[in-house]
Chains A and B, each alone.
Chain A
Amino acid sequence: METALEMREVCKTFYGEGEVEIRANDHVNFTLKKGEIHALLGENGAGKSTLVMNLCRRPDSGSVIIEGKELELKTPRDALEHGIGIAHQDLSRTLIERHTVAENVLSLTKGFLLSIDTVEEAVREAVQKFDLGDIDPKMKVWKLSGGEKQRVEILKALITDPGIIILDEPTSMLTPPEVDDLFALLESLKAEGKAIVIITHHLEEAIQISDRITVLRRGQVVDTLDEGRVQKLKSNPQQGVRELARLMVGKETLYDLKRQELKPGQIVLETQDLCVENDMGIQVVTNVNLGARAGEILGIAGIAGNGQRELLESIVHFRVARTGKILWHSDAGELNITNMSVGAIRDLGVSYIPENRRKAMVLDLTVRENLMMSYYSDSKGLLIDRDAMIQLTDELIEQFSVDTPSPLAPMRSMSGGNKQKIVVAREISRKPAQGSRRLLIAENPTFGLDVATTQFVREELLKQRDSGAAVLLVSSDLTEILTLCDRISVIYNGEIIGTLTSEEATRESVGLMMGGFVSDSIGSEEGN
């Protein structure tokens, strides 16, 4: 078969906060043939999306060869003009909610004053041709369901009739029958001789649909399975899934952290049938029942964007819960904290380490001021007790070994790791209310950190657990979840689809559940 696309020795590096260097693509070689469906597999951050994005912005080094010609594709327009259609993963970045379906199709024709009616007609024709079900070109996108939105994004990729089709996580919001329809469509496009790349987390789907599979891990190609080997996987999908999962995650040794046995204590925080909406008023957390116990780390595992953020934000009341209750248990009895003010909730003993560190600090203030930020309400009277402040912050800098030239250095000048240390120090140091236990909520707390700081943060989480605090850890990093958590709840599409104890949980089982796959043997629908 002819080669449609080849990428040779492609490298792309991103720079995180501080001096962290993320090698998203590290000398990747990839070939795509005409008339094949090629699956790209890998964990979060393995570099799958980065690899295909090299087709619409230049990689740092390496070459992109299309139809035998080495090309420089600098913008998405260049990609379009060379017959590449891409359906992106993050629909919030690629769909315009307030516009109609037809208005979302911008790639179609050139010209100055082209009537929208023409686009609507073209959308209607394409929907029929590709059998994408019931999509009204005049419908506003925000009214569409997740599956319909995903089909619109696929339509956008196909409508220019590209020779190379790239679908980034095209099935994450589709129902099983919709997935079957999509796969039938891909088969017919393949028969026409199109070259198709499908990026997915769902290992079974990859085995079912693809001719070849390339597995990425930490920016590098682990293996490319040719037609013969994929055929073998197809004959025994159960075995195949296990083999692919092993390739994806590797034989990574878990960090050497001592997690001593502890008997979980009483429930500190409980949610009852909690439902939360996102910014667009769409319900993204559905009937969540959780109980975080003292002396226990409860993990919430899931692929980003399945409602984790909204769930946490409703607990700390950055976001209003639509229905359901959030209860706080302390020596003083049960307290309904649903929709209490952020300050009151924090005073009870809730600490929060958000995923986006910028939400947790003021870059232009000093280290000292940032460390003090949750204490200001404690001071009596008008003035700040300077001596107490200096003593407290000096102690914290010492205790958490923050590497700063002076407590008066601006937060902006700190490296990513030190910023996170400061946030952790502040969140952990404040005493809970009398008779209350602490609840520490951590959201991807080690994202983008170097190894030493990662280890440090994880140890602090364990120390908190050992000291009797309840810890709620949201993470899309499986290693982190498996190393730290006593219990693991998996969230998918806003629902907790199963909870496992640390003994039951394996990399494969949690990984499969994160993709929405619940088998009777691994899922137990207990909630608490």
Chain B
Amino acid sequence: MTIEQTGSQIVIAATFFLIPTLGEMVTERSGILNLGIEGMVISGAAGSFAAAHITGNLWIGAFVGALVGGLLALIHAIVTVTFNRNQVVSGISLTILGTGLSSILGLGLIGVPIVPFGPIAIPGLSAIPIIGPIFFDKNMLVYFSYVMVPALWFILFKTRYGIMIRSVGENPMAAYTQGVDVVRIRYLSVIFGGMMAGLGGAYLTLAWIPMWVEGITTARGWIVIALVVVGLWHPVGAFVGSYIFGAFDVLRYAFQPLGVPTAFLNMLPSISTILFLVIWGVLLNLQKVKSIVGAPSSLCVPFETE
């Protein structure tokens, strides 16, 4: 494989991680942990594929994917924000629900072909040697993920709306006493996260692997949750983390000719996740580091006004 081909594959694999990671990052920044990401990704994948197949329009498919993810996230928001129930239990239930839902949405679609999002070369940029073909000869959803990184950075750190999201995740009481509607902010953040997860699923079936089979995500939605930690709850960190894991995803096949068993290679993403989390866990626990970066202080803490 040439560098361009390998790099290209890494970008394609990483985008699948990046879109849901950005969404989950926003959700966690508002203080809610959504462990239902895997369910939202896979049902988004099935729903978008079905919609695209029926209407013949990929964009409607992508929209339906986001919609399915957003609706599942709405359930999470109702359970965890309105009723202050356990976020872990709700999230895991939604993963199970989403996996079941994907089987229903994908009924009769196994093996059905579809024309995926095609690459659109960006004039000028795509002509740059090596970098051009790797980054700027891709489909629209990849470009969308590029744009979302700086856009979310700007929203989170430079706008009033972003400050409210972060404040609600750090200290909801401080936000509440200044008139911020904590419930509304958390609802919007959770739903946004779900829509991004659904869109990640749409990317999988409408752009990367244009087909539907059950369990198409091979549980990679779970890695998203680790990626938010690895990315330090920051859009740029999410970008870097997603590309590192995208690289793992692609490069493991490079070891295959060397006689390393496939079963072991398939473990690599999970092993690297655990390794990253251990190293990060140790680093983030240092007192001085804790006051600068780390999980939002009120992550998983229910908010009650009295």
Contacts and interface: CB of A to CB of B under 8 A. Distances in A.
Interface of A: 56-57, 75-77, 80-81, 86, 88, 93-99, 103-107, 109, 111-116, 119, 140, 142, 156, 277, 280-281
Interface stretch (B16-24, B158-166, B237-245): B158-166
B14 to A, nearest CB: 29
A116 B167 CA distance: 14
Contact of A113 (B161, B178, B292, B305): B161
B218 interface: no
A464 B268 CA distance: 60
A96 B174 contact: yes
Contact of A98 (B161, B178, B292, B306): B292
A93 B178 CA distance: 12
A118 to B, nearest CB: 9
A75 B306 CA distance: 12
A116 B162 CA distance: 10
Given A76-B178, A112-B161, 8 more contacts: A93-B174, A94-B173, A98-B170, A99-B163, A106-B164, A107-B179, A115-B158, A142-B291
B288 A281 contact: yes
A94 B174 contact: yes
A96 B171 contact: yes
Contacts of B288: 281
Contacts of B167: 96, 99, 103-104, 106
Given A80-B179, A96-B167, A115 B159 contact: yes
Q: Which 7 residue pairs across A and B have the least CB separation, nearest first? A: A77-B179, A114-B160, A107-B178, A281-B287, A106-B178, A93-B173, A96-B170
B297 A76 contact: no
10 contacts: A76-B177, A76-B179, A86-B177, A95-B171, A99-B167, A104-B174, A106-B163, A106-B167, A116-B159, A281-B287
Contact of B179 (A75, A88, A98, A140): A75
B143 interface: no
B178 A80 contact: yes
Nearest to B293: A98
Contacts of B161: 112-113
Contacts of A80: 178-179
B180 interface: yes
Nearest to A110: B160
A98 to B, nearest CB: 6
B175 interface: yes
Contacts of B166: 96, 99, 103
A280 B289 CA distance: 11
A112 B159 contact: yes
Nearest to B176: A76
Interface of B: 155, 157-161, 163-164, 166-167, 170-171, 173-181, 287-288, 290-292, 297, 305-306
B297 A98 contact: yes
Nearest to B171: A96
B237 to A, nearest CB: 16
B174 A95 contact: yes
A77 B305 CA distance: 13
Among A96, A104, A107, the one with the most B-chain Cβ atoms within 10 Å of its Cβ is A96
Contacts of A96: 166-167, 170-171, 174-175
B302 to A, nearest CB: 15
A266 B160 CA distance: 61
Contacts of A142: 291
B106 to A, nearest CB: 38
A77 to B, nearest CB: 4
B177 A56 contact: yes
A280 B294 CA distance: 13
Contacts of B290: 281
B291 A88 contact: no
A87 to B, nearest CB: 10
A106 B170 contact: no
A57 B160 contact: no
Nearest to A94: B174
A111 B305 CA distance: 25
B171 A93 contact: yes
Among B155, B161, B178, B306, the one with the most A-chain Cβ atoms within 10 Å of its Cβ is B178
Contact of B291 (A75, A106, A280): A280
Contacts of A112: 159-161
Among B159, B164, B177, B178, the one with the most A-chain Cβ atoms within 10 Å of its Cβ is B177
Contacts of A75: 176, 179
A113 B159 CA distance: 5
A104 B175 CA distance: 8
Contacts of B180: 77, 106
Contacts of B287: 277, 281
A97 B291 contact: yes
Given A106-B178, A107-B178, A99 B305 contact: no
Contacts of A77: 179-181
A98 B160 contact: no
A519 B167 CA distance: 43
B172 to A, nearest CB: 10
Given A76-B178, A156-B178, A281-B291, A113 B160 contact: yes
Nearest to B166: A99
A448 to B, nearest CB: 16
Nearest to A277: B287
B305 A98 contact: no
A99 B297 CA distance: 11
A103 B163 contact: yes
A94 B177 contact: yes
Contacts of A97: 170-171, 291, 297
Among A75, A97, A98, A104, the one with the most B-chain Cβ atoms within 10 Å of its Cβ is A98
B174 A98 contact: no
A119 B181 CA distance: 19
A77 B179 CA distance: 4
A140 B180 CA distance: 21
